[in-house]
Amino acid sequence: MKVLLKVDVENLGFAGEVFNVADGYGRNFLIPNELAVKATPKVMKQAEVWRKRAETRRAEIRAEYEALAARIKEVTLTFTARAGETGKLYGSITMAQVADALNEALGTEIDRRKVGVEPLRQLGKHPIVVRLSGDFQPELTVIVADEAEQPEAVEAPAAEAEELEVVAAAE
């Protein structure tokens, strides 16, 4: 069955293009969801209009993704979790948690299924890929720190400050 796409269809093609697809795919999915129409000579006249409209829309989306990708590359998220002596976490930092923190940091609504692949189970610095589209896949940095080390890191500067006060008082 030959169909003319009305909108861009992922894994198939762009709006305004004609494709030969399986009859069931065209009849049961593309046409009922108004993603395509059956390619007839009358409809082919509208193809150029749909093609131009889709190109302008793709240019807008590309510009939005470029700006969002630049913002995502600048983001560094820090999580704390309990870990064993080897650095392995007693649980994990899930990609849903990363996506929620990213959305909160940027004020966006990125789908959590597009963030990363597997949960983080080790301490350290991890690059996480955000799949905005096929062309735009920026990486953000996630740092997983040990929960037990956090209070010591906070207390250490306080202890140094006390030492400095004592030295200043002695002089």
**Domains of the chain, first to last:** 2-64 (3.40.5.10), 75-170 (3.10.430.100)
For the segment 113-169, what is each residue's pLDDT rounded down to a tens digit? 888 888 989 999 999 998 888 788 899 899 999 887 754 444 444 443 333 333 333
For the segment 116-129, what is each residue's pLDDT rounded down to a tens digit? 888 989 999 999 99
| pTM of the full structure | 0.65
Output the CA–CA distances (angstroms, integers) from residue 121 to 1, 84, 87, 92, in the order listed.
Answer: 48, 11, 9, 5
Phi, psi (deg, nearest 5) at residue 34: 55, 40
Average pLDDT over residues 60-89: 89
In this structure, the strands spanning 139-146 and 18-20 are: unpaired
Q: How many DSSP H helices and E strands does the chain contain?
A: 5, 8
Give the confidence band of 106 by pLDDT, cuts at 50, 70, 90.
confident
Above pLDDT 90, what percent of the chain? Answer: 25
Q: Which residue, among 24, 109, 25, has the nearest Cα to 13 in the 3D structure?
A: 25
pLDDT given for residue 49 in this prediction: 81
